[in-house]
Structure 1
Amino acid sequence: MNNIINAAVHDLQRGPQGFKIVQGQDKLVVTHTVQRVINELHDLYARRASKSYGKFSDQLTYSETKTYLGDYLAAGPDGFADLTAKMMVTLQNSARTRNAAAGGHVFFAHFERDNHQYLLVAIITDKLGANLTGNLDVQDVVHLDVDGFRFAGRINMTAWLDQQERYIGFLKGKGSVSEYFKEFLGCDTVIQARQDTSQLVETLKEFTLQKQMSAADREEFLTKAKGICERLASSQREIDFEEFANELFPSAPTELSEVLGSPERKLNDGFIPDRRALVPLKKFKGKTSSWSVEFDRQALTDGSIIFDADANTLTFKGLPVELAMELKRETIDE
């Protein structure tokens, strides 16, 4: 549940002379409808797979939103009208530099969720629909195209104040279409291929547990994932979570893409997989002060290695002849 602290809507209109701002109310009264729309926007944003994550840029050129948001947090909730008015000017200036920029209704929402404070910004356009009159006649009706928004971003203000590495997320889209929105947010994307690949690996493992896959299905799923990622790494192609989910889990790709795109995971869409970080998809490894072990996941599936979770032990079957003979000699010597 999103506890809405402040919300506002302004218009960014595109015309022959460029972009024009039309200011809405300083603050919206948080009615049932406002709550529903904000909740729906956030849920839709969360389910979109293609996102990028980062932090505020240190470059002065892109520091306006950072400055305005800092001023707002210092002033308190009463400064929301000033915050959104200034951010609209920044959005207007960013839009002027990009041909792909689009106008629309700009929704701002400051809300609390799971003890974190967020600012959500989304650009929504209108859509022509139809409804029935009392006389069962059909008439045109214009409504918000909530499902079709392409530009949205979320700033985790709590994580920002805690000096975390990634606290801004935004919809990436195709090509450079979202660049102006990234500049508007003042975001410097933090793409670390090895870290992102490691997080992808852990996410895929968790997904197999959530789906309660059998050992054989889990082995097939993770092996296939490794093959796709290695192919991308070889060709130096960026991963696209929607395409990845369609190939890896064709029976229900949306389920996987929504997990990959979860804002809480902060997984960048569009990194090139790092081969070194893909190893855990295929192998298990561990060590103590006196021994180390590494084996393929398939060994658990085919029974050549057995893990007893209660006893916390591994049993190896079919030892190599040389190793078995060496161990026997060691035992005899004792």
Structure 2
Amino acid sequence: MTEIIALAIHDLNRSDAGYSVALSKKLLDVTDTTLRVISTVYELYNSRTSKSHGRFTTADGSPTEGQIRAYVEAKEKDFLGLTGKMMDNLAREAGKKSASVGGHVFFAHFRRDGSDFMLVTVVTDKLSAALTKNHGMEDVEHLDLDGFRFAGRINLTAWADKQDRYLSFLKGKGSISDYFRDFLGCDSAVLERKDTQSLVDALKEFTLTEKMVDTEATAFLSDALDYLGKANKAKEPVDFEAMANRLMPKEPGRLSKFLANTDRQLNEGYVPNASALKALVKVTAKTKMWSVEFTREAIDQSKVVFDKDKKSLTLMDVPDELINQMRAEGMISD
């Protein structure tokens, strides 16, 4: 994180009577400790798989976008007031689902790489033990930073620029995080073809980042096509961790971490689109005068040869059927 604009922490409490909010009276100071905590939470969030990406919903009844807009238009003068209102939203949505035990709710407005973000996460306390100076032992409570289940991020700059996706949250398994999605006011409707195309692009980028040689990249992408193609036929949703375990069994974390990066805005939980998957192993192009389609394997085996100086492609092993057709139509002579 390049710059912390504002930090706040409030409490969401659960009792037999329901959920209540305990608001802080002042913002958190930006210290080495708070910076470390927020940075750690953000890095953990960024590396988690099973995130969903979308935008603010246009449905009636969700106040979050309007509250964010008022905060931004006021030139970010009242972060404490904004987060207090958002806590009311959180308590209301939690009450509808009874999905959370409550906890400390961190809000961070920060700036990174020229963009403004807001991070929201619910963190609980964890009991551990510590040694005393006399070699005794005592109970100590600390924040369970690794164990948070509910978190979301708003790219405020992308939202202001009216981009398609600027809001993400941890989706988890099942519907347990629905209340957090509704609290954020996120519309994460999945567009299967577009999401599949984004995943295909990311997998190709991964082969370049890993500096795979051509044949290794082709094998990796072919395996990805086989795995995702079977998911399409079985109508099974995409799961990054499961896919990483299949494609990179020795080091699955390298792939899952790459795909989980929040800035890539890759959704999970949708059935991959069969048509979009073809781009994993095939290259297609066309002009007004011709169209061409070939596989990565054709390049690897020199069945298609590219001359960078002439910007030309040479196709090897042209089938007799095509030759006879061109001859019959007078395009070529014997």
TM-score by length of 1: 0.94
State the percentage of identical aligned residues.
Answer: 44
State the Cα distance separating 1:102 from its structure 2 match. Answer: 2.8
Structure 1 unpaired stretches of 5+: none
Q: Which moved more, 1:217-226 or 1:309-318?
A: 309-318
User: What is the aligned partner in structure 2 of residue 227 from structure 1?
Assistant: 226
Residue identity opposite 1:172 in structure 2: K
Distance in 2 (CA, whole Å) between partners of 1:49 and 1:310 is: 43
User: What is the aligned partner in structure 2 of residue 171 from structure 1?
Assistant: 170
Alignment of structure 1 residues 121-132 onto 2, 5 Å: 121-132=120-131
Deviations 1:290-318 (A, max 9, x none): 22211122112222222344553323222
Aligned residues: 332
Deviations 1:219-239 (A, max 9, x none): 211111111111111122211
Distance in 1 (CA, whole Å) between partners of 2:210 and 2:178 is: 36
Alignment of structure 1 residues 69-84 onto 2, 5 Å: 69-84=68-83
1:105 aligns with 2:104: yes
Residue identity opposite 1:295 in structure 2: F
State the Cα distance separating 1:186 from its structure 2 match. Answer: 0.8
The 8 Å contact of residues 120 and 153 in structure 1, kept in 2 or not, is answered as: yes
User: What is the aligned partner in structure 2 of residue 54 from structure 1?
Assistant: 54
Residue identity opposite 2:184 in structure 1: L
SS at match of 1:97: helix
User: What is the aligned partner in structure 2 of residue 35 from structure 1?
Assistant: 35
Distance in 2 (CA, whole Å) between partners of 1:264 and 1:148 is: 22
Distance in 1 (CA, whole Å) between partners of 2:76 and 2:260 is: 30
State the Cα distance separating 1:327 from its structure 2 match. Answer: 6.7
Residue identity opposite 2:33 in structure 1: T
Residue identity opposite 1:279 in structure 2: K
TM-score by length of 2: 0.94
State the Cα distance separating 1:331 from its structure 2 match. Answer: 5.4
Residue identity opposite 2:231 in structure 1: L
State the Cα distance separating 1:137 from its structure 2 match. Answer: 3.2
State the Cα distance separating 1:263 from its structure 2 match. Answer: 1.3
User: What is the aligned partner in structure 1 of residue 290 from structure 2?
Assistant: 291
Deviations 1:16-38 (A, max 9, x none): 22212112242111011111111
SS at match of 1:60: coil
SS at match of 2:78: helix
User: What is the aligned partner in structure 2 of residue 317 from structure 1?
Assistant: 316
Residue identity opposite 1:298 in structure 2: E
SS at match of 1:14: strand
1:86 aligns with 2:55: no
User: What is the aligned partner in structure 1 of residue 235 from structure 2?
Assistant: 236
Structure 2 unpaired stretches of 5+: none
User: What is the aligned partner in structure 2 of residue 118 from structure 1?
Assistant: 117
Distance in 2 (CA, whole Å) between partners of 1:309 and 1:103 is: 61
Kindly report the root-mean-square deviation, in angstroms, between the aligned alpha carbons of the 2 structures. 1.8
Deviations 1:112-147 (A, max 9, x none): 111111111000011122233233333322111111
State the Cα distance separating 1:58 from its structure 2 match. Answer: 1.2
Residue identity opposite 2:211 in structure 1: Q
Q: Which moved more, 1:166-175 or 1:218-227?
A: 218-227
Residue identity opposite 1:91 in structure 2: L
User: What is the aligned partner in structure 2 of residue 276 from structure 1?
Assistant: 275
Residue identity opposite 1:28 in structure 2: L
